[in-house]
Amino acid sequence: MLTTQNISEAISKNFSKAFSKIFPKALLAITVNLASLCAVNYGVINNASAISPDSHNLVTPKNIRLARNPSSSLDSRISSTLVDEQGRLWIGTWQGLMQIDQRSGKAIASISLPNSTVTALLEDRRGYFWVGTTSGLYQIDPDSGKIENIAIQLSSSRILSLAMDRAGFIWVGTDQGITRISPYNAETYARLPDIPGTAANVMQIDNAGNIWVGTLNGLFKINPGTAKITARIPYVSGQIVQAIAVEPSGKIWAGTPRNVIEINPNTNKAIARINSVTGRDIVALASDKNGELWIGMRDGLVLANTYNGAITSSIYNLPSSSVINLLVHNQQIWVGTEDGLGKINSNLKQSEIPTATATVVYKMLRK
C-alpha cells in the first residue's frame, strides 16, 4: 500500500522517475520545497500542507495543481525555450514553466511560479534554472522542484533577458538596466543602470566572451570582467534592438522593428543589412552551424543566406505566424510562437530548403 512516507522516500531518490512510475497518468505542478511533499493522485491530495519556497510558510494544498490537460491549463504564448544539459525540452509561457516530450508534444512536468509570466529562461553550470518573470527572478532545481525567489536588489523586478558569461556569472537584464550576480549565493557583483535606452531587451555572449545588449536605444558591447560598456554601435544607435544572434564565424546580427543589421565585432561597426526583410518587425534571430540566419518576425519565419542577403526559404506550418523566440540545438530549430511550439530540421538538403516545413510539436489552446 502506498503511503505519503514511502512516496516521499522514493521521490527523494529520483524525483522524476519515481513520480512517473507511481502515478503515470498524473502531472505534478510543482510549487513546493521537498522538505514537505504533497503527492497528487488523480486529483486526490494525500498530504495536508506544503512549504512555500518564497516565504517558507505553511500553505494549503490548493497551491498544488493537477494538470489533466496541459494544453488548456497553460493556455498562453511561448515566451522562451530551453533544452537542458540532460536533453529535456522546457518552454516558458505567460502561465508558467513546462517540460514537454520532444516527439509527442505531451506535457511531462509543470512548474508553477508565484508569478507565472515567464519572460526569460537560462540553465547554469550546476543544472539549475534561472527564470525571469514580470515581477522577479527565481532559481529552480528541475529535479527536485525546489523554487527559490532570488531576493536581491535588482535595478527592476521586471526581467527581460538572462545571460551567463564564461565565468559562470548570471547577467540579469531588466527594464531599468542590468545586474551581474553570482549563481552560487545570488550576491550582486555589478549594476549597470546607466545603459542608454535602459531596458535590456536581449543579451548574447559572443565568441570572445563579450556581452552584447540590445536596448530601446541601440546596441551595446560590454566587457564582462569590468562590467563596462566598451562599444556603442553607431549605425544601430537610436533603434530598438529586439534580437541578437552570433554566427559561428563571430559575426553579430541585430534585429530591429525594421531591419536585420550585421556588425563586425572587431571594429564594432555595422557593415551590412538584409534588405529583403526591411520594414518587417524582427523579434527573434538564430544562427545555425552552417552560418545561415533564421529570422523570426511578427508575420513569419524565413531563412537567409548571410553572404548575399537572399531569402532562401519561408517556413510553413508553424503553430502561428507570429514568432516570439528561436532556439538552435543540435540539428533542430525550435520556434516559439503565440500559439505553440514548432520544430524544423536545420540539416536540410539543398533541394528541401525552398519548401521547408515546420513540425508542430505543441499547440496551445485558446480559451
Residue 29: which residues within 8 A CB-CB, separation 6 or more? 64, 65, 66, 67, 96, 110, 111, 112
Helices (H), the chain: 4-13, 15-22, 70-73
Amino acid at 266: N
pLDDT (0 to 100) of residue 355:
64
Q: What is the pLDDT of residue 297?
A: 96
The pLDDT value recorded for residue 359 is 84
DSSP code for 357: B
Residue 277 in contact with residue 295, Cβ under 8 Å?
A: yes
Domain ranges of the chain: 1-66
The answer to pTM > 0.85 is no
- The model's pLDDT over 82-120, given as tens digits with 9 standing for 90+, comes to 999 999 999 999 888 999 998 888 888 888 888 779 999
Give the model's confidence band at 130: pLDDT under 50 very low, under 70 low, under 90 confident, else very high. Answer: very high
Residues comprising the chain, all counted: 367
Confidence check: pLDDT of 336 > 70: yes
Q: SS3 of 183, please?
A: coil
- Provide Rg for the chain, Cα atoms: 21
Please choose, from the candidates 228, 224, 254, the residue with its C-alpha nearest in 3D space to the C-alpha of residue 242: 254
